[in-house]
A and B are shown apart, each in its own frame.
Chain A
Amino acid sequence: MFKKFSHGMIERNVLLLGVLTLITISIGGLAQVVPLFTIESTIERVQGVRPYTPLELLGRNIYVREGCYACHSQMVRPFRDEAERYGHFSLAAESMYDRPFQWGSKRTGPDLARVGGKYSDDWQAQHLRSPRALVPESIMPPYSFLDRPLDYRSIQQHLRAQRALGVPYSEEMIANARADLETQARPEADGTAFATRYARARQGAFDGNPGVVTEMDALVAYLQMLGTLVDFRDVTPEQLRQQ
């Protein structure tokens, strides 16, 4: 009986081959997934993470549309050299409202998880238009076409779709989505109500032109908030434990 169970036998029986392949592959998957079953929540209990503002959300959509994740990760790993270069390692909590997440798996360009505030708005816009004008050694493609007007007619549906996936956008946020988007892109607009809905969100003429809301405005607004929501000066090691 045991002698029959041979290479030749598996090769001749498609069903058996399929079942044994499934079992072999499952072992690798289970080794990654099962230990997490012993943790109640992988999300750290830190303060400050909020859903994206409407402008940031559309900027994020452009980030996905242009495939920025193919060259830029958003994941500072818990290694000393990465912490030296990029800052505190990324937390699960910081991407809990990302649908889908943008951790990425390859760095042709630098990690962007904490790029917010590292450069000026003007630098981000100019660099996106013509990367080599500012960084001659860069191999990033130019994105000057992003200076076209942003299509935000369906912004409420975008927020609703995110809410259906579990992001806690309130009725008030959805009702004011359009106004909030325009407020954030115009530095002189009254941002009192906007600021109560989205803590630590910054208004600005992100592309240097406050007259028109462009795709560049949205993308720069998104880049400038990356990694800035959690204030790590207040975070204790206890809050970072996943348990």
Chain B
Amino acid sequence: MPTKIEKDSVSGQMTTGHEWDGLKELNTPLPTWWLYTWYVCIAFSLVWVVLYPALPITGATGLLGWTARGALPAQQAAERTRIEPMLARLRAATPEQIAADPELRGFALAGGRVAFANNCAGCHGAGGQGAVGGFPSLADDDWIYGGSFEAIQHTIRHGVRANESDEQRGIAMPAFQTTGMLNPNQVSDTAEFVLSLTGRSTDAAAVTRGEALYTENCASCHSDRGEGNRDLGAPRLNDRIWLYGGDKAAVMRSIAYSRAGVMPSWQGRLDPAMINMLTVYVHAMGGGE
């Protein structure tokens, strides 16, 4: 309960008059600098609510007529004007020409790095290392559709099985077991032959049986000895790089049910200059041809 307000003998301040078991509360005034800053803030806010959207009489924009949406186009236009000369050069040049010109190449690598992190890294990894499950590495020299400037640019533009343009990559691999073209034993034999291409088969008889099945069903796209075919996007089978895993179970699953990875088409989403920058950046990741 409040007792009497008195002067504290130690600090010289008045008390609030509150007391708990003999403890009394000091009523220390706010520092002057703090108090005046507070008054200035109040004055500032009174000006602000008139200039910016807050009061019914000044409508949804305030006296300044400001909105975030209204301010955005000018900011975007200013930035666009600033970078357009460089974008125009990057748009007009082919990726080869960009890579050959040190100035353009520097801009393309810097811009490509940012665009890659935003748009590509989710699937292909922050360093282009890819991931098992159908997300190819871009940092090695094993290319499904080719690693030349032109091939990379085409893949970025049109995507793989993206259903957005006729020029997209990717044909359909048959699901050999689902469609009844191979029975489960034949799938196993074919997988043994595929493993033998990298010296990993453990069953010589199955390899012999699988070779005939491979020649009949797989060789037209993946070539006789698993060299692959870039025109069709048929991956190499005679190296140790596997999109969906290289153990027998994964290879059998690929043969039985097929695989059909999808990459979005970026033509409508990204500026052509940005696609050129990305092309140069991906080409420089380690496997460019």
Contact = CB atoms under 8 A, between A and B. Distances in A.
A134 B69 contact: no
B41 interface: no
Contacts of A38: 56, 59-60
B123 A123 contact: yes
A117 interface: yes
Contacts of B123: 119-120, 123, 134
Contact of A80 (B53, B69, B76): B76
Contact of A31 (B49, B119, B261): B49
B72 A83 contact: yes
Interface string A193-222: 000000000000000000000000000000
A134 B54 contact: no
Contacts of B118: 85
A38 B54 CA distance: 11
Interface stretch (B29-37, B130-138, B146-154, B229-237): B130-138
- Give the dominant DSSP class at A's interface: helix
B79 interface: yes
B68 A78 contact: yes
A137 B121 CA distance: 11
B263 interface: yes
Contacts of A85: 118
Interface in B66-90: 68-69, 71-73, 75-76, 79
Query: Which one of B73, B118, B119, B123 has the greatest number of beta carbons of chain A within 10 Å?
Result: B123
Interface string B105-132: 0000000000000110111011000011
B131 A122 contact: no
A10 interface: no
B76 A118 contact: no
Contact of A34 (B55, B76, B262): B55
A80 B72 contact: yes
Contacts of A25: none
Contacts of A117: 264
Given A80-B75, A80-B79, A133-B133, A89 B60 contact: no
A80 B74 CA distance: 10
B134 A122 contact: yes
Interface residues on A, range: 20 to 34
Interface residues of B, number: 35
Contacts of A119: 122-123, 264
A141 interface: no
A74 B243 CA distance: 33
A99 interface: no
Query: Which one of B118, B122, B125 has the greatest number of beta carbons of chain A within 10 Å?
Result: B122
Contacts of B269: 87
B72 A78 contact: yes
B126 A137 contact: yes
Nearest to B53: A35
B122 A134 contact: yes
A31 B125 CA distance: 46
A126 interface: yes
Contacts of A83: 72, 76
Nearest to B61: A35
A240 B68 CA distance: 13
A37 interface: yes
Contacts of B134: 122
Given A133-B131, A134-B135, A79 B68 contact: yes
A31 B55 CA distance: 6
A120 B262 contact: yes
Contacts of A34: 54-56
Interface of B: 49, 53-56, 58-62, 68-69, 71-73, 75-76, 79, 118-119, 121-123, 125-126, 131-135, 261-264, 269
Given A38-B59, A120-B261, A137-B126, 20 more contacts: A31-B49, A31-B54, A35-B54, A37-B56, A39-B60, A78-B68, A78-B72, A79-B72, A80-B75, A89-B69, A120-B123, A120-B263, A123-B122, A133-B132, A134-B133, A134-B135, A135-B121, A135-B125, A136-B125, A240-B69
